Amino acid sequence: MKNYKTQMEAAKKGIITPAMKTVAQKENLDVNKLISLVACGQVAIPANINHQSLSAEGVGTGLKTKINVNLGVSGDCKDYQVELEKVKLSLKFGAEAIMDLSNYGKTNTFRKQLIELSPAMIGTVPMYDAIGYLEKDLLDITPEDFMRVVRAHAEEGVDFMTIHAGINRRAVETFKRDGRRTNIVSRGGSLLFAWMEMTGNENPFYEYYDDFLDILREFDVTISLGDALRPGCLDDSSDASQLSELIELGHLTKRAWAKDVQVMVEGPGHMSMDEIAANMILQKKLCHNAPFYVLGPLVTDVAPGYDHITAAIGGAIAAANGADFLCYVTPAEHLRLPDINDVKDGIIATKIAAHAADIAKGIPNARDWDNKMSDARRQIDWDTMFELAIDSEKAKTYFESTPPEEKHSCSMCGKMCALRTTNLIIEGKDVIFRTES
């Protein structure tokens, strides 16, 4: 019988868990080094005891940058079969996490199916599910009701939950006093703000924080401390609302660790490029080097339809400067629920950002993939290039759409391919462009 409840408790006791062995192998990291990082909270291994299909991943200091895919139904898009196709696509392209953000009807059937089939870690935002699950108006929901939803998600096998515990009455007063261009853009944060204002009560996730932690500890669920007051436009970034909540999240991080509950801290949504590095340093300082999970950040507000690009730019900068976990953003952001093509574009853009940041951070062996691609390009080995590409199918389709006359080139340069020219000279051959008629 195991004598620990959570990965953090095991690490503090020097116990190597099966999840730790899996993560250490994936990261090519000494398991004893990993134990020390989990014990002090710098690495989280979200691994609910009821998620039997999980292939554990680590998030945090010294590890590869992970990506998350958001999906789930809404009142306007209720087709769970479409969401399952998105799940399969996410797994195909190597997303390490999937968050079910369904907010319509009884969502637990889909969530149980998702947990059963997915080796990726699964996250939820219980606040989203509360109204549909409880079949109550927001004003009528009690703290005990919120607790019921959190327990239900934990029992089902959810590995991490976004809980907006930092938007307490102090943070709300700061927000109301200072004002904002876009106010609150967090869906869960806005619902809690509305509940607090309508009832006159403290945020139940803050007031009864220890009770929620007890539930999470029971099932080894990692708490992802949500940033209800994240900036929703460039003009709101790094303001008093964002930073006052971040200070609260730092206190809540230590309280969770005291109960051996693993923590991730969520970060900004919209932010100009020159502010990102400083925000990463500040977050790590205020939240005691807990793993940092960012949405984007989106580096401009004027690109609807292309926000997978604005987010990838910000995500690469954020991860290169300390963020550990990137939430994907799709071209549909701000416009609609993403379709399967949007999901693919969002995943690929975020994978590129994460990998680019791993190279910049000096993650061991991160550059090896690029070196293999460079060797294949030097050798003009198309099959290997396609195999190594993040999106092999797209690379091959592009190449074959306009086939070159000269097989050791592409249709852009043909026989004038720089690599072909150099290879021929190094091999002692002449470069000939015209053939005898």
What residue spans of 185-272 are helical by DSSP H? 187-199, 204-207, 209-219, 240-258
* pLDDT score of 378: 95
| Average pLDDT, 10 consecutive residues per value, the chain (437 residues) | 92 98 98 98 98 98 98 76 94 97 79 95 93 87 96 98 97 95 96 97 98 98 98 97 97 98 97 98 98 97 98 98 98 95 98 98 96 96 96 96 84 90 93 71
* pLDDT score of 437: 47
Q: Is 334 annotated as a binding residue?
A: yes
Q: How many structural domains is the chain composed of?
A: 2
* pLDDT score of 77: 65
Q: Is 206 annotated as a binding residue?
A: no
Q: Is 229 annotated as a binding residue?
A: yes
Does residue 273 contact residue 313 with C-beta atoms inside 8 Å? yes
Is 15 among the domain residues? no
Q: Is 227 annotated as a binding residue?
A: yes
**137 shares a domain with 273:** yes
Residues facing 251 on adjacent strands: none
Is 122 among the domain residues? yes
Does residue 308 contact residue 328 with C-beta atoms inside 8 Å? yes
Is 7 among the domain residues? no
Is 94 among the domain residues? yes
Does residue 281 contact residue 322 with C-beta atoms inside 8 Å? yes
**410 shares a domain with 334:** no
Q: Is 228 annotated as a binding residue?
A: yes
Is 1 among the domain residues? no
**431 shares a domain with 335:** no
Last residue of a domain, one of 361, 388, 421: 361
* pLDDT score of 80: 84
What residue spans of 93-125 are helical by DSSP H? 108-117
Spatial distance between the Cα atoms of 242 and 233, rounded to a whole number of angstroms: 12
Q: Is 266 annotated as a binding residue?
A: yes
Q: Is 398 annotated as a binding residue?
A: no
Q: Is 188 annotated as a binding residue?
A: yes
Q: pTM of the prediction?
A: 0.95
* pLDDT score of 105: 64
CATH of the domain at 200: 3.20.20.540
Residue 90 sits in which domain range? 46-361
Spatial distance between the Cα atoms of 130 and 137, rounded to a whole number of angstroms: 10
Q: Is 249 annotated as a binding residue?
A: no
Q: Is 95 annotated as a binding residue?
A: no
Q: Is 430 annotated as a binding residue?
A: no
**150 shares a domain with 227:** yes
